[in-house]
Amino acid sequence: MSKYENLVLNELNYNSYLKVNELLELQQLLSKPAHHDEMFFIIIHQAAELWFKLMRHETAAMVEAFRTGSVSHALKNLRRLVAIMQLQVQQINMLNTLTPVEFAGFRDHLKPASGFQSIQFRMIEFVFGLREPFFLKFFEKEPEKVAILEGIAKEPSVYDEFVRTLDKAGFAMPAALLQRDVTQGWVESPELIATLKEIYENPKENYHWVLLFETMLDFDEKFAIWRSVHMLMVARTVGMKTGTGGSSGYKFLAGRAELRFFPELWSLRTHIGTVY
């Protein structure tokens, strides 16, 4: 091989940088004969996992911005998270192009795999404060993943970091919030609602906080829409069947449709314009 040929083969290019060859080998169909729509199903979910990875990346940067008191940087990361969730809503909606018959053509091959086993999705929920021990059982055969989730559960959530940032910025937060046991579930705080209400109604030079609050709500809203779209997609493709991992399927997802990451940002809407 000539020096020139060796240079061409080893030179960085689009395909080598993005590992395109390796990426395109990751879609391994289980149906035999291969069902046309299984490729579509795999790619949708693999793409979702890539976006989950980026969400984790942006969330970590947002938490660091909170810790350093940089609201503008936190807002930048949060805006990207909102955009990713908007795309995730559109992406999961694509599964509605599967008819029930088409999905049934390869669905049995997926058992006992389940979306419950998405460690990245569960990490995102845990980081944002939804830390239900129930989900640990889906990783019983992967103790390293259980350890990851248990480790996250011992750390302050994104919401905790947000509250601490407010306090450092001069908006005194109650000691009960700042010193709370972060391994326990969040309990809505009237004091936090009162502080948020005051900033909303009298922002003065603090309007950047209002922009942050509204973008936090955008993210929460997009995540809630994603849950609803996911729930309806399941109802549309498999009806009331149990999930491939043994869950109650649609009913389980419907029970999570009301979950919110930032409850006070929703509750204060009731009190805006009134004495609280």
CA dihedral 206, 208, 209, 215 (to 10 degrees): 160
pLDDT of residue 250: 82
Domain count, the chain: 1
Give me the pLDDT at residue 251, please.
Answer: 85
Q: Looking at this protein, which amino acid is placed at residue 114?
A: S
| Chain segment 165-222, per-residue pLDDT in tens | 999 999 999 999 999 999 999 999 999 999 999 999 999 999 999 999 999 999 999 9
**Average pLDDT of every residue of the chain:** 93
Among candidate residues 174, 177, 122, the one with its CA nearest the CA of residue 152: 122
**Tens of pLDDT along 119-129?**
999 999 999 99
Q: Does the structure show a pLDDT above 90 at 139?
A: yes
Identify the pLDDT of residue 74. Answer: 98
| Element spanning 39, H or E | helix 36-67
The answer to whether the bond into 203 is cis (omega within 30° of 0) is no
pLDDT, position 242: 73
- What is the model's pLDDT at position 1? 58
Whether 103 maps to a domain, the answer reads: yes
Domain that holds residue 81: 37-114+157-270
- Answer whether residue 161 is part of any domain: yes
Burial of 33 (0-12, 13-18, 19+ CB in 10 A): exposed
Q: Is residue 147 part of a domain?
A: no
Q: What is the pLDDT of residue 9?
A: 64
| Residue 53 placed within a domain | yes
- The pTM (predicted TM-score) of the whole model is 0.92
Domain annotation covers residue 221: yes
DSSP secondary structure letter of residue 134: G
What is the reported pLDDT for 68? 97
Cα–Cα dist 33/221, whole Å? 41
Contacts of 63 (CB under 8 A, 6+ apart): 127, 158, 161
At residue 85, the pLDDT reads 98
What would the mean pLDDT of 140-152 be, rounded to a whole number?
96
Residues with Cβ < 8 Å from 183, sequence gap 6 or more?
131, 153, 154
CATH number, residue 178: 1.20.58.480
Residue 12 lies inside a defined structural domain of this protein: no
Maximal C-alpha separation, the chain? 81
In a domain, 51, yes or no: yes
Per-residue pLDDT of 223-253, as tens digits, reads 999 999 999 999 998 887 776 666 677 888 8
Query: 15 lies in a domain?
Result: no
